[in-house]
Amino acid sequence: MTNPSGLGTLQQLALLAVARLGREAFGNAIRGEIRRQTGRDMAVSTIYVTLVRLEEQGLASSELADAEPGAGGRGKRFFRVTPAGWTALRTARAELDGMWEGVEPA
Amino acid sequence: MTTPPPARPLLALVRALLGSPWGEEVAAEFEAEAAARGAGGGWRRLAATLWLLRQVVHPDTLRLAWLVRASRAGCRGALHPAGTPRLDRTPTPEALVQDVRFALRSLFRSRAHAAFAIGTLALGLGAATSVLSAIQSTLLRPLPYEGADRMVALWRPYGAAFLAPDPEQVRVWREQEDIFEQLEWVGVRGLTLTGVGEPTRLTVGLVRPSIHDLVGRHPTRGRTFTDEEVRGEGARVLLVTHGFWRGRLGADPGVVGRTLTLEGEPWTIVGVLPRGAVFPSAFAPQTDAWAPFSEAREELGGSVVGRLRAGVTLEQAQARLDAIAAGAAADGDRQAMWAGKALSLVDSYGANVREALRVLAAAVLLLLALTCVNVTGLLVGRAYRRRHEHAIRAALGAGRRRLVRMQLLESLLLAAFGAAGGFAIALGLLEGVSRLRPDSLDVLDTVRPDGAVVAAVALVAVLVGLATGFLPALQATRPGGLESLRSGSRTDGTGRGRSRGRWVLVATQVAVSFALVVASTIALRTLIQLQRDEVGFDAEGLLAIQASLPRWKYADEVGRASILRRMEDRIASLPGVAGTTRASGVPPTHGITFGAVEVEGLGPIEGTTMFFGTEVDASYFRLLGQPIVAGRGFTREEVAEGAPVRILGEGAARRLFGDADPVGRRMRIESGTWRTIVGVAADVAMTGPMWSDATLQLYGPVAGGASWGVFGIRVREGASEGGVLRRARAVLLEEEPDLLIEDAAPVAALMRASLARERFVTALLAGFSGLALLLAAVGLFGVVSHAVGERTRELGIRLALGATRAQVQRLILGGGALAAGAGVATGVALAFGGLRLLDSQVVGLSDADPASYLLSGVLVLAVTMAACHVPARRAGRVDPVESLRAE
């Protein structure tokens, strides 16, 4: 699970989903995005565990948005990739790309 | 979109687990997703509930709870990137797994003890699961419709009765669009189906095409009715239900367009209803087919069902109906014509089982409480025995929290195993119930534990686990624990006072189980007595066949009379038949006549009198073996002419005439024709709860030209009842292939069947009292065992000082006997008062019956003393040297 970039697969997926979604990156949307792109259906709490861990490591940050009138009055928590998160993502990608070089199957 | 009801406690659990603000947030996500998955109702809602359950019990939920709590506690960065914990205060998932493994090992080490606790929990939770399932599917969700909780039935109240609403009234109700989303006329008809196998009676629901919007189910084949088919008298078209199509019509794929003969007329099948299209009326949810509710039918009456607008309460709807009635009265119309009553449709379902289910729910709560008490007792005893182990653990650095957590984990695991066992027990129990149940409670056949019940029982199991683990957990961390390690003694002198509470609890259990045992003993005795009762006639070898002539073939009375006579003659000449008669009913199915009675020369009798009885042929009393105690029976001429004559039952004669001779006197009912009393017949037993007090019996001559009646057949000694019944049916159908034959059975079997409800309640009571007694025995066993363990040192001293083993055993048994005796004594009072509550369910339950009390007392004492015997023997085997040796 641990590699030099410090990111697990799940963490990478979650960070990338957050990045792809931009201002729309909240829990269910992140889960939906991962399902759409990879077909993985993950438990709600798995996503949250990943996000909370990312936040603790300073790779993502979150803020509570104002309550919307239509969403049952509850505030939603939006996630964002921090600069450290971007660095970790890039490192992970560079590592993988490096490793993939030369082994690309025909 | 609504969240399925069982979701609420689950979401609350998530909120509590995660705390603010994460709890709300994650719960909101769960809720949104569950609502999206559950949209469309039915199976989807169930699937959504199961999805939610899976999500909540997902290991990551626990992980998340730990994470967010740790971060809230200001321990940011409490984790290494890979997730290794630095906190001691909150368990990491890894530590939890370790604890679970440890708890499992520890339970496995004391297998007998664990099996005992799991068995007890399985019994309690099994009973809870079955009763919860029954309540869920009969009281909470009997209608598989979207918005079923807003469905109502509207009636016109008249005194205590409910009448069909007036069409004009319904038009006005329909205009209240802010209250009612939809209102529908519905009705029920019984129609005789001929031409497909033997004639049978179909229950046909009458509906308008818009009914499909109300129930949300559309035909799977063919089409529904057109508005045209509802006009005037209505077209003869049918929608058949899924069950009828599969059963009677053999799942015929070309069924649409097929013609069925109902009441001699051709009806065309235009469509097939899907499974689960329950007819929305409390009277006949089980229909075979639906037919148009014609405009002409409105005048004849029906009932009105509908759905309230979202957010409108039943009280608001009722207030509007009242306002309409008041307005009409102000306009000079009769208010009674305009009065309306709104009833919840869900409430009307299962009304016949509601009372019984309430009693059962109370009994189950009691059982569950007893279960908790017992298991707590067992675990406290175990924690007491393990106090050295706990002290050592504490000394080695295990924190209080860890000790508490381990104890709670053990009890939670026990509860989980217990719940699994309970679920298996419940499945078996429900299977048994649907075999035992009386016909009138067919609603019980649909009872199966669904996702919601599983979730609820899981929650209950968690609560039980926490509740039973609480006391032992406290004990495990008692500061005195270390003391015990130091002194090494097995008794620390504090045990006696603490265990007094347990003795009281155990005595209470004995009391409750005694009351239940008394209840089931009385119920059983009543049942046996009802079955053995002198019925007043010779039911052995007596058969009854109830038959209806096809009305469309026999328009005139003369024709009906002649075919019935021919049928009776042919049955009479069958081999094995000793005699026949004809009547409008035989016991236990009697007719009822009620009204104000007037006896010539005595004037009117106060109040309305209800008579049970039938119209009978001249041969009736002789055939049934029912003695005529005064006067004579009817003559053939009297029956043929329909003469104004009556025969009274003995009880009725006494009631109306006292000791005077009623023969030759005249009486009339509701100012009808004066009829002469020609004789008095012995009373017959009419079993069943409704009939038990019916001692007033009245007989008249049977009308020759009735289209409906019962053939009574006396079977010759030695002949087979089944064979005669079969041949008689064949002969009847040979005479008239369209004859509708219902209830063809030996009279003794019909009498037995009329007691089905009593038998059912008795079986349930017996089951519960057995369970309660078992639990009480288990509880007593636990307490006495515990006492023996606590007093080992004292017992050793006694033995060392010269007490015999028998004396020591008596000492222990004496303690148990005291608790059991106190329990029985309290139980007598409890049974005496409490059984009145059950009186509506079982006849005669509140009667003081010394024999039943005595019998129950002996049984309860025998079982409880047997439970004390094992630990008492152990006490007798205590080795004084061993018990006094310092550890």
A-chain CB neighbours of B69 within 8 Å are none
Partner-chain residue, chosen from A1, A2, A44, that has the shortest CB–CB distance to B26: A44
C-beta atoms of A43 and B60 within 8 A: yes
Helix (H, G, I), strand (E, B) or coil at B846: coil
If one compares B102 and B420, the residue with the highest pLDDT of the two is B420
Average pLDDT estimate for B563-570: 89
**B291-322 pLDDT, tens per residue?**
998 888 777 777 888 889 988 888 899 999 88
Average pLDDT estimate for B36-48: 77
Alpha carbon distance B330, B338 (integer Å): 11
Q: Residue B98 CA to chain centroid, in angstroms?
A: 44
Model pLDDT, residue B3: 53
CB within 8 A of B530, min separation 6: which ones? B687, B692, B755, B758, B843
The residue type of A74 is: R
Q: Residue B566 CA to chain centroid, in angstroms?
A: 46
Model pLDDT, residue A72: 47
Cα–Cα–Cα angle for B780, B786, B792, nearest 5°? 135
Query: Which residues partner with B351 through β-bridges?
Result: none
Q: How confident is the model at residue A26 (pLDDT cuts 50, 70, 90)?
A: confident
Q: How confident is the model at residue B85 (pLDDT cuts 50, 70, 90)?
A: very low
Preferred mutation among A5, A9, A30, A48 to probe B, highest tally of B CBs within 10 A: A48
Residues 62-91 of A with CB under 8 A from B: 64, 71-72, 74-77
Q: Which of B331-335, B597-601, B826-830 has the lowest mean pLDDT?
A: B331-335
Q: Which of A44-53, B53-62, B169-178 has the lowest mean pLDDT?
A: B53-62
Alpha carbon distance B528, B385 (integer Å): 49
B-chain CB neighbours of A45 within 8 Å are 26, 55, 58, 60-61, 63-64
User: Long-range contact list for B606-611, CB < 8 A, 24+ apart?
Assistant: B609/B669, B609/B696, B610/B694, B610/B696, B611/B652, B611/B669, B611/B696, B611/B697, B611/B698
CB B687 within 8 A of CB B739: no
Say if the ipTM goes beyond 0.85: no
Examine the pLDDT at B678 and tell me if it is beyond 90: yes
Q: How confident is the model at residue B477 (pLDDT cuts 50, 70, 90)?
A: low
Examine the pLDDT at B489 and tell me if it is beyond 50: no
> What distances in angstroms separate CA B169 from CA B301, B333, B335, one per listed residue?
12, 12, 11
> What distances in angstroms separate CA B850 from CA B406, B475, B518, B831, one per listed residue?
50, 45, 10, 12
Model pLDDT, residue B88: 42
C-beta atoms of B58 and A43 within 8 A: yes
Per-residue 3-state assignment (H helix, E strand, C coil) for B872-887? HHHHHCCCHHHHHCCC
Q: How confident is the model at residue B270 (pLDDT cuts 50, 70, 90)?
A: very high
Q: Tell me, yes or no, if B53 comes closer than 8 A to chain A by beta carbon.
A: no
Model pLDDT, residue B594: 66
Q: Tell me, yes or no, if A1 comes closer than 8 A to chain B by beta carbon.
A: yes
Alpha carbon distance B230, B211 (integer Å): 12
Q: What is the DSSP letter of B138?
A: I
CB B660 within 8 A of CB B601: no
C-beta atoms of A56 and B78 within 8 A: yes
Partner-chain residue, chosen from B25, B54, B83, that has the shortest CB–CB distance to A53: B83
Average pLDDT estimate for B264-278: 87
CA distance A105 to chain B (A): 32
Q: Tell me, yes or no, if B866 comes closer than 8 A to chain A by beta carbon.
A: no
C-beta atoms of A6 and B81 within 8 A: yes
Average pLDDT estimate for B328-357: 70
Model pLDDT, residue B341: 83
CA distance A101 to chain B (A): 27
Q: What is the pTM (predicted TM-score) of this model?
A: 0.57
CA distance A81 to chain B (A): 17
Alpha carbon distance B89, B100 (integer Å): 17
Model pLDDT, residue B448: 66
Q: Which of B129-138, B421-430, B621-630, B716-725 has the lowest mean pLDDT?
A: B129-138
Q: How confident is the model at residue A4 (pLDDT cuts 50, 70, 90)?
A: very low
Model pLDDT, residue B887: 43
**B580-591 pLDDT, tens per residue?**
998 888 877 776
DSSP class per residue in A31-80: HHHHHHHH-----HHHHHHHHHHHHHTTSEEEEEPPPPTTTTT---EEEE
Examine the pLDDT at B269 and tell me if it is beyond 90: yes
Model pLDDT, residue B84: 35
Alpha carbon distance B635, B219 (integer Å): 57
C-beta atoms of A27 and B71 within 8 A: no
Q: Tell me, yes or no, if A9 comes closer than 8 A to chain B by beta carbon.
A: no
C-beta atoms of B67 and A53 within 8 A: yes
Alpha carbon distance B684, B675 (integer Å): 22
Q: What is the mean pLDDT of chain B?
A: 79
B-chain CB neighbours of A77 within 8 Å are 21, 25
Residue B370 CB neighbours (<10 A): 26
Alpha carbon distance B75, B77 (integer Å): 6
Helix (H, G, I), strand (E, B) or coil at B325: helix
Examine the pLDDT at B492 and tell me if it is beyond 50: no
Helix (H, G, I), strand (E, B) or coil at B285: coil
Model pLDDT, residue B72: 65
Q: Tell me, yes or no, if A4 comes closer than 8 A to chain B by beta carbon.
A: no
Alpha carbon distance B572, B715 (integer Å): 10
Q: How confident is the model at residue A67 (pLDDT cuts 50, 70, 90)?
A: low
Preferred mutation among B60, B62, B69, B71 to probe A, highest tally of A CBs within 10 A: B60
Average pLDDT estimate for B327-332: 73
Partner-chain residue, chosen from A2, A44, A49, that has the shortest CB–CB distance to B82: A2
B-chain CB neighbours of A64 within 8 Å are 21
Examine the pLDDT at B179 and tell me if it is beyond 50: yes
Q: What is the mean pLDDT of chain A?
A: 78
Query: CB pairs below 8 Å between A and B: how many?
Result: 64
CB B343 within 8 A of CB B306: no
Q: Tell me, yes or no, if B578 comes closer than 8 A to chain A by beta carbon.
A: no
C-beta atoms of B82 and A57 within 8 A: no
Q: Report helix angle B480-487 to B387-395, nearest 10.
A: 100
DSSP class per residue in B538-558: --TTEEEEEEE--TTT--SHH
If one compares A3 and B506, the residue with the highest pLDDT of the two is B506
Examine the pLDDT at B393 and tell me if it is beyond 90: no
**B219-267 pLDDT, tens per residue?**
888 888 888 888 888 889 999 988 888 888 888 888 899 999 988 889 9
Alpha carbon distance B564, B573 (integer Å): 14
CB B862 within 8 A of CB B543: no
Average pLDDT estimate for B555-578: 87
Chain B: residue whose CA lies nearest to A32: B33
The residue type of B309 is: R
Preferred mutation among A2, A40, A45 to probe B, highest tally of B CBs within 10 A: A45
C-beta atoms of A43 and B55 within 8 A: yes
CA distance A87 to chain B (A): 15
B-chain CB neighbours of A52 within 8 Å are 64, 67-68, 71
Examine the pLDDT at B41 and tell me if it is beyond 60: yes
Which residue in this structure is represented by tokens 């306009």?
A: B331
Percent with pLDDT over 70 in chain B: 82
Examine the pLDDT at B335 and tell me if it is beyond 80: no
Alpha carbon distance B76, B74 (integer Å): 6
C-beta atoms of B81 and A75 within 8 A: no
CB B296 within 8 A of CB B264: no
Chain B: residue whose CA lies nearest to A30: B29
Classify B350 in phi/psi space as left (phi over 0), alpha (psi -120 to 50) or beta.
left
Average pLDDT estimate for B116-124: 85
C-beta atoms of B82 and A49 within 8 A: no
Partner-chain residue, chosen from B32, B61, B82, that has the shortest CB–CB distance to A1: B82
CA distance B59 to chain A (A): 8
